[in-house]
Structure 1
Amino acid sequence: MMTHKIVVAGCGGMSNTWLDYAVQRGNAEIVGLVDIYEESAKAMAAKRGLQVPTFTDLGAALVATDANLVFDVTIPASHKQIVTAAMNAGCNVFGEKPMAESYADAQEIVALSQATGKRYSVMQNRRYLKQIRSFRDMLASGAVGTVGAIHADFFLGAHFGGFRDAMDSPLIIDMAIHTFDQARFISGADPVSVYCHEFNPPGSWYKGNASAVCIYEMSDGSVFTYRGSWCADGLNTSWEADWRVNGSRGSARWDGASLPYGEVVNPEKPEGFIRELLRIEGESKWEGQEGHWGCLDEMFTALEEGRPAETDSLDNIKSVAMVFGAIESARTGQKVKL
């Protein structure tokens, strides 16, 4: 069995999830912690009882520890530097979204992955929920017919503090990647173009634009619309957004928390001004772990099977394109081809 020797980069601000997972995985070992503030790395080592060296430089850590895998949990601005250094040193990388701070950086990372043969898998944990798997299966079964439109609403009043409050486009850059990636996952289609208007409404506590409306044309001919805000106090959606899909035979809904359901035309009833409908229910078939642990299961399994993970950078760059295409459209006021 493959043994994973892991160096964690950016441990000063990381959640416990990544370390918790690595500790419980039988063939994985944390061999070093890196942070620009070494005292943060030392504090994390002490907190978790890890008897491992700490560093301020990733390159030095990789040489000293003979690691073969890097967890990149740094801020987005550091992702390209961390991932590039890791892959050039012969390591695979698992990292937090977004995969890069710009589309050009993401393209360079993908090219480097292809050149080195090293994998860079991105944490898209919101794919790994039984409810979204049920929703995807419902649509893939043809239950509502040919999908023509997918709509997602995301409204939360998230008071983070810290770097998000100072970002130019906090919603699209830091959060919308999840919903955009979910749209690709649910539909099985990729983006073709986008028109986006982003804005910062009254009462916002963000410096940059914390609200947006986006319209995507997708490769299967459908349209995906996104309405979102990170400064919407009251009547909040779930973190998974609130979804509606319209198909040629009916419609499906998913509130982001419950199992999906739908209504489809009853073929045994005659035509009418409003057709008679039958209710359909999503089935819970997903038996894997959910959230971060489900995504990490897939990342590790893919490495061990010698294949790209479901959220490998080769695929995830298409979700990244949705992010930076939206930013470019908002900047220019024009529809952008992807």
Structure 2
Amino acid sequence: MSRFATVDAAGPLRVVLVGAGNMGRHWLDVIAETPEVELVGLVDLDLPLARRALAERGLSVTVGESLTQVAGDAGAQAVIDVTVPPAHHAVNTEALFAGLPVLCEKPIAPTVAQSLSLAAAAEASGQLLMTSQSRRYYAALAELKDALGALGPIGIVTTEFFKAPHFGGFRDEMAHPLLVDMAIHAFDVSRYLLDAEPVSVDCRTFNPSWSWYRGDAAATAVFEFEGGTRYTFTGSWCSPGFETSWNGSWRISGAGGTALWDGEGRPEVEYVEGAGPGDVTRATLPTAVRPEIAGALDEFVDALRTGRTPSGDVHANVFSLAMVEGAVRSAETLGTVSLEAVLEDGYRDALASERREDVRGVLESWGSAAAGLRTKGVA
């Protein structure tokens, strides 16, 4: 039996999109390309912007500033939250307690504390809350995960990420733009590949002299995972020339060989003599998966139809967010940081700041962040 409500009604899943900015417009296009989903409402505080986005695509749906009102008027069955990260906690909570499951753009919340509050809210409401950790959804990545089953124990995983985007806007002003806005994708993929959780991180950041960012745009983070595997992320957002893909460049070294992935093509694997694919556990993602946010949308719809817990379930995604928060804490303190401490500090903050009694009751029933997250059967 699923631990969240499923949607049994026939026909496409009726969704309301919250957010009509650049990313919201991208979601409008993906929704239009997905027969299993029907857009029935668009919510944004800037109503002219929302109406223009719809008119440009020849769409006519319910528009408004209130999520609850638009969803009710439109008969929505689910919500896609594409608001700015500081609004995620409020929007997701409103939707969940309106009886609506939510697919939310990453990060699920700006802090571990707020993400734990949202995990408890999902339990209290009985609804699914899933984040669109979109860079999990590549056929080549699923193939890479398949290959790791024959590499034996994994010793080292590395990601190199070097890009030079000129975004402008809020990213240019962030204290840790690379870690907070981008690195979570690679951190999340490391958890997916290893089927394990990190236990500590040591991270250093800096800002090259030619950087156009105010905060540190370059970082190296070393994570220790359960079982002793080390994961190293090295990257820069102001590194022009020979840029990597947006997925970075990966190397996985195990007892039985090494796997390489450039983030775009198919992975390459070189096994030591006597090792090889054989009978290995297949990756959870099918090789025909649609990439990026389309893949996240497909998994969201599948979860609501079948009751299968998606990989982006909020309970699991908290660990990816903890990797980011731990890396930032390590960079600022110049020391190794325990991720258990990050989670438990977040748990205490969540309890202290929670305003809803039902959500606080769920948080209190956990006893600890570790107990609340690890009993949910998600990875």
Structure-1-length-normalised TM-score: 0.90
**For residues 312 and 278 of structure 1, what CA distance do their matches in structure 2 show?**
33
Q: Is the 8 A contact 2:18 2:24 kept in 1?
A: no
Q: Is the 8 A contact 1:127 1:291 kept in 2?
A: yes
Q: Is the 8 A contact 1:302 1:309 kept in 2?
A: yes
Structure-2 residue corresponding to 1:254:
261
Q: Does 1:332 align with 2:365?
A: no
Provide the secondary structure at the position in 2 that maps to 1:220.
Answer: helix
1:51 to 45, 54, 60: 60
**For residues 24 and 266 of structure 1, what CA distance do their matches in structure 2 show?**
46
Shift of 1:27: 4.4
**Residue 34 of structure 1 aligns to which amino acid in structure 2?**
V
Deviation by residue 1:144-196 (Cα, 9 ceiling, x = unmatched): 22101101110100111122112221111111111001111111111111111
Deviation by residue 1:117-143 (Cα, 9 ceiling, x = unmatched): 111111122111121111110002x2x
Q: Is the 8 A contact 1:13 1:74 kept in 2?
A: no
Shift of 1:25: 3.5
Higher helix share goes to which structure? 2
Percent identity over paired residues: 39
Shift of 1:307: 2.7
Provide the secondary structure at the position in 2 that maps to 1:148.
Answer: strand
Structure-2 residue corresponding to 1:74:
83
Report the count of equivalent residues.
325
Shift of 1:16: 3.9
Q: Does 1:107 align with 2:116?
A: yes
The aligned runs of 1:264-303 (5 Å cut-off) are 264-267=271-274, 286-303=287-304
Cα 1:265–1:51, aligned 2, differ >3 Å: closer, same or farther?
Answer: closer
The aligned runs of 1:1-338 (5 Å cut-off) are 2=9, 3-140=12-149, 142=150, 144-267=151-274, 286-338=287-339
**For residues 307 and 247 of structure 1, what CA distance do their matches in structure 2 show?**
31
Structure-2-length-normalised TM-score: 0.81
Shift of 1:15: 4.8
**For residues 244 and 34 of structure 2, what CA distance do their matches in structure 1 show?**
34
Shift of 1:73: 0.8
Deviation by residue 1:256-306 (Cα, 9 ceiling, x = unmatched): 122111323224xxxxxxxxx999xxx997123222222211111011112
Provide the secondary structure at the position in 2 that maps to 1:213.
Answer: strand
**For residues 290 and 14 of structure 1, what CA distance do their matches in structure 2 show?**
16
* Worse overlay, 56-65 or 256-265: 56-65
Provide the secondary structure at the position in 2 that maps to 1:157.
Answer: coil
* Worse overlay, 43-52 or 55-64: 55-64
**For residues 150 and 223 of structure 1, what CA distance do their matches in structure 2 show?**
6
- Structure 2, unaligned stretches of length 5 or more? 1-7, 340-379
**Residue 144 of structure 2 aligns to which amino acid in structure 1?**
F
Q: Is the 8 A contact 2:18 2:43 kept in 1?
A: yes
Provide the secondary structure at the position in 1 that maps to 2:330.
Answer: helix
**Residue 102 of structure 1 aligns to which amino acid in structure 2?**
T
Shift of 1:29: 2.2
- Structure 1, unaligned stretches of length 5 or more? 268-276
